[in-house]
Amino acid sequence: MIMKKNLSRYVSTTSLAVLSSFSILAQYDDEAISLAPFSVSSDGTRKVLEITERDLAQRQASDLEDALSLDPSITVGGSTAVAQKIYVRSIGEAMLNVSVDGAAQSGALFHHLGRNLLEPELLKSVEIQAGIGNATDGPGALGGAVRFVTKDPEDLLRRGQEIGGLFKYGYYSNTEGYKASGNVFGRLNENWGGLFSYVKSEHDDLEDANGNASPGSNSDLDVLFGKVTGDLGHGQRVEMSFENITEKGLHLRRPEWSFVSGPNPLIYLESERSTGVLGYTFNSPEQDWLNLATRFSVTEGEIRQGAEDPYMGNIESRQFYLANTQNFDIHELTYGFDYREDEIMAGALGGALDGQEDADVRGFFVQDRIQATDSLVLTLGARFDEYNLFDLNSQSFSSDDFSPNIGLTYEFTPEFTLRAGSANAYRGPEINDAFKLWFWEGSAGSQNDANLVGESARNDEISFSYSRDGLSFELGVFRNTIDDIIVNTVESEANAMRAVPWGNFYTNLGELETEGFYSRVSYSGENYNVSLLYDNSDTMVNDHLATRYQYGSVAASIGNTWVLDAFWQATERLDLGWNIRLVEGIDDIAVSIPTDFQNEFIDKPGYSTHDFYLRWAPEFSDYLTFNLTVKNVFDKLYRNHGSMEDYSHIEFYESIIGAYEPGRDIRLSATLKF
């Protein structure tokens, strides 16, 4: 069990390519575009993509990659679930504000692992803010935010139903695995409701399209989840939830690499996350100015590594959020305060956890939405954050800064809308990777540059959208820069600091820049939808293309990506879809670590994948639903651009190569809901 304890430069544009396409119902209103398989809401600097529970269920999502890779701006790399890392517009999860029901998932337990342990079965929706949003998105959202929202009892109850159950069993052919879940939910009385869920899944090692198993990709997952909601009357609502996820298996020491070797043996690894959230809202029916939201949460994450290389890392985060929204005249004003404290510890499993760091951040924010005219909406906001860190070597760091934002939405006609915005975000030095705090043999633990300063980001974006008679179209350009990025480094032969995965010295390296454009087009009929989505972005660190191997959770270069999706509702009880994801290759990426290589390059080959899904609710039962999903229909052999690259042709780097993605996977599930 877990232990208790600045626009300075214009955004450049490039040409827009168009393909034909096929996905779910597309609609447009004043502030939202629904482009299957998700909806997009936009207001000034904020542009949020929402993936719904239906989208997740149709695809029988089993991990982060399944849950998030429905839009080309998002990539989840790492074929093994424990090694999966999130990239939004090529910016990694270390630069994002990731939360579960508002509880921030901060820090890293081991740099070769992903930072987020999640079960899609419990999710009601996933909200993705690509690029910096507004002041209410929380501290440190340098590249955007990802918000996971879990189910409520009310989401599962049928109209008029007081108590119910939902049981589901699914089979996965590639791993010869299964997932089983049970949910009991109901109204305790007219004001209170509850939900309890248990999910169990087991999978053998996955196989690539050549039929070769990826060692250490097996998984054994247990999930417990409970939520209670209550209406206290007079506009008051309370929500309490608890989630515990445990994943264990025989994994590679460095799971993001692809094969067993001397420095990368198979060892037992167990990961666990527990999150508890207590939320309270008060929308006063008597006082128009009082629309209060407050939340307290605790998240604890831990990894335990086997006897062959005993290691344990633990992170605990405690958070408090308080905000009020009031409407007056043409303004919708939100203001408030948030606070988070993090404690991280590491050491030998069964021994003293003598590597420890503590940090906190407190922020004040205000965000205004101004309905200036019937056609023009302005957004203005700012947050002020103060960061404190007490590190492994007893150094103290304190820093603070403002993060302003401004945006507009202008409706030229009911069909044609312009949106533009500029937003800033600041993040001070925070806790380091737990593994690097450990005083393992030959290591003195991590060290922070005494002159370390915080990271500052700016996102500038402009987009146009058009919608009429079932046709929706959007085109946008963006540029995101993050100055003074903090990464682990070593000194190169040219006496320059270089980012490397094994470095233990944390310093400000320079600038991370991502710029590009995106387009979205969708056409819908009465029972079908066709859509195409395209993203183009270039990600550079100090004028070099970023790679996952060098920058890990900070950034990775992703090829230009197309997503084609078709959806057809044949009858009320039968719908089906086809999804194509095409990623263009990137060639001749110069290798710049750890020393000054001459004429050494790596490539990231392009690929396309096809997924098919079908949902059938038989006429003989109102309680049963069957789903068929075929992932990677044509059994394509490929390596995800968000995964570890292939360095195997370089001397001394022969073992550094990311695993291929799974080959064809046929998924069958049956759901009983009563």
Does position 358 have pLDDT exceeding 80, yes or no?
A: yes
Q: Is position 15 within any domain?
A: no
The residues facing 282 across adjacent strands are: 236, 292
Q: Please give the mean pLDDT across all residues of the chain.
A: 88
The reported pLDDT for the residue numbered 25 is 26
pLDDT at 211 over 80: yes
Q: How far is residue 270's CA from residue 82's CA, in Å, rounded to a whole number?
A: 10
Calculate mean pLDDT across residues 450-479: 94
How far is Cα 533 from Cα 563, in angstroms, rounded to an integer?
A: 5
Inside any domain, residue 7: no
pLDDT in tens, 186-200: 998 889 999 999 999
Mean pLDDT, range 47-75, rounded to an integer:
81
Compute CA distances 543 → 510, 512, 539, 601, whole Å: 10, 9, 9, 15
**In-domain check, residue 16:** no
Instruction: Give the lowest-confidence range in 4-13, 74-83, 377-386, 435-444.
Output: 4-13
CATH code at 341? 2.40.170.20
The answer to whether residue 162 sits within a structural domain is yes
Would you say residue 94 lies in a domain? yes
Least confident window among 110-114, 295-299, 343-347, 550-554: 110-114
As a whole number, mean pLDDT of residues 502-511 equals: 90
- Reported residue count of the chain is 674
Binned at pLDDT 50, 70 and 90, residue 24 comes out as: very low
Query: Is 50 exceeded by the pLDDT of residue 251?
Result: yes
> Which pLDDT value is given to residue 99?
93
DSSP letters for 251-302 = EESSTTS-S-BTTB-EEEEEEEEEEEEEEEEEE-SS-TT-EEEEEEEEEEEE
What pLDDT is recorded for position 261? 85
Query: If you ran DSSP here, which 8-state letter would residue 659 be given?
Result: P
Evaluate whether residue 591 is within a structural domain: yes
Q: pLDDT of 120-167, one tens digit each?
A: 888 998 888 888 889 998 999 999 999 999 999 988 988 889 999 999
Model confidence band, residue 171 (pLDDT cutoffs 50, 70, 90):
very high
> Is residue 79 pLDDT above 70, yes or no?
yes
pLDDT tier, 6 (very low <50, low <70, confident <90, very high otherwise): very low
Q: Residue 602: give the domain boundaries.
A: 27-673
Q: What DSSP assignment string belongs to 597-636?
A: -SS-EEEE--EEEEEEEEEE--TT-SSEEEEEEEESTT--
Least confident window among 276-280, 441-445, 500-504, 664-668 = 441-445
The pLDDT of residue 334: 97
- The span from the CA of 86 to the CA of 146, in Å, is 9
- Residue at 21 is within a domain: no
Q: Does pLDDT of 544 surpass 60?
A: yes
What pLDDT is attached to residue 49? 79
pTM of structure: 0.91
pLDDT-based confidence at residue 352 (cuts at 50, 70, 90): confident
Of the chain, the percentage scoring pLDDT greater than 90 comes to 66
Give me the pLDDT at residue 38, please.
58
Res. 44 pLDDT band, cuts 50 70 90: low
- Note the pLDDT of residue 121: 87
Looking at residue 596, its pLDDT comes to 52
How far, in Å, CA of 578 to CA of 321, rounded? Answer: 41
pLDDT in tens, 324-341: 999 989 999 999 999 999
- Per residue in 552-599, pLDDT (tens digit) is 899 999 999 999 999 999 999 999 999 999 999 999 998 877 655 567
| Tally of helices (H runs) and strands (E runs) in the chain | 4, 40
Q: Is residue 562 part of a domain?
A: yes
Instruction: Count up the domains in the chain and report the number.
Output: 1
Rounded to an integer, what distance in angstroms lies between the CA atom of residue 605 and that of residue 602? 10
Q: Is the CB of residue 221 less than 8 Å from the CB of residue 200?
A: yes
pLDDT tens readout for residues 399-447: 999 999 999 999 999 999 999 999 999 999 999 988 888 765 556 688 9
Give 81's DSSP letter: G
